[in-house]
Amino acid sequence: MKFSNLLVQWYLQNKRDLPWRIDTNPYTIWLSEIILQQTRVAQGLPYYFRFTEAFPTVFDLANASEQEVLKLWQGLGYYSRARNLHKTAQHIAFDRNGAFPKAYKDLLQLKGVGEYTAAAIASFSYNEDVPVVDGNVFRVLSRYFGLETDIASAGAKKEFTLLAAAVLPSGRANLFNQAIMEFGALQCVPKNPDCHHCILSDSCVALQKKQVALLPVKSKKVKVTQRFFNYLVFSDDNEHTMIQQRIAKGIWYKLNEFPLLESNENSTLTDVIELIENQTFIRNKILNISLHNSDPIVHKLSHQKLFIRFWHVKVSGFIENGIDWESARKMPFPIVIFNFISNQ
């Protein structure tokens, strides 16, 4: 098919020199795909090098502690990916003697591996004829074929997957899947693509109908919840502070943080004092409380907007199980808290 051949030809001439493309090792391909989920290549690349240096093999990753893995992942976000990465590495290393499944349907059984990631590993490592469908593929197919299906709708994934499978050249899944994704990342970009210097311009339906800016259609809006976090930065006579691990499922699960008081809006000093008095996590006498940042730090997540303030709380005596700042810096934190700690 002309469409497929042109994409492969374009890819061979324009592909980026990325380290996970050097060979077909399923470990490094799996690692790169997990890192790049909802992450730009430029942001994910340093993490890929960090992980492959620390954990050259799946056995090295499996034998690491979860806190070590979370620390290396710090700042990349969506931390469930790191926890699933670690659990899957342990399964591959200890239950499968280091061997990854070779078929798409079996790869789907791995924790943290969905349809896209399974297809990527199956095609890139084993050249299985299975299509990959990510945001780039949605965009390329939608524009080229003029599809106005809302990609957020229930049946969109199946429709686009069937189309991607139809245009997939048999025996060339490795090349074609990487080609169509790379084409979407570099050429058929979301805004203001250079359509006049595009190899598909002669046959692109969206270009002919002047619908490039309108496709793909995505109507569903993400509802963003606002939350107000007050972090209590305790300090005792030893200049030790208090750190705790988040144990509630949700954002930043199993990362560390200062004791947290969540409120319905930005809190005043009186509010914070009242909130502290209702807690039992500190028994020391409070000597002084001061606000570190009067303007909240706004930290945006996919479905949440956090307004974060740090409160310095000086207490008498010594905090039970207190920790010094040097030790704290070695622990995994949400990046917004780590940035605060780095300046202490």
pLDDT, tens digit (0-9, with 9 covering 90-100), for 41-70: 999 999 999 999 999 999 999 999 999 999
The mean predicted confidence, pLDDT, of the chain is 95
Residue 114 gets the label, from left (phi > 0), alpha (psi -120 to 50) or beta, of beta
CA 314 to chain centroid, in Å, comes to 36
Active site residue 115: no
Q: Exposure string (b/e) for 79-108, b if CB count within 10 Å is 16 or more?
A: bebbbebbbbbbebbeeeeeebbeebeebe
Q: Residue 190 phi/psi, 5° resolution? A: -60, -45
Q: Residue 207 phi/psi, 5° resolution? A: -70, -45
Q: What is the pLDDT of residue 274?
A: 86
How far is residue 339 from each of residues 75, 333, 334, measured CA to CA in Å?
10, 9, 9
Q: Residue 297 phi/psi, 5° resolution? A: -80, 125
Contacts by residues 63-70 (CB-CB < 8 Å, ≥ 24 positions apart) = 63/93, 66/254, 67/331, 67/332, 70/254, 70/255, 70/332
Check: CB of residue 81 under 8 Å from CB of residue 34. Answer: yes
pTM: 0.92
**pLDDT tens digits, residue range 23-32?**
999 999 999 9
Q: What is the pLDDT of residue 1?
A: 73
Does 220 have pLDDT greater than 90? no
Does 98 have pLDDT greater than 80? yes
User: What letter represents residue 335's amino acid?
Assistant: I
Q: Residue 245 phi/psi, 5° resolution? A: -95, 140
Q: What is the pLDDT of residue 125?
A: 98
Question: Which of 33, 68, 262, 320 does the annotation list as catalytic?
Answer: 33
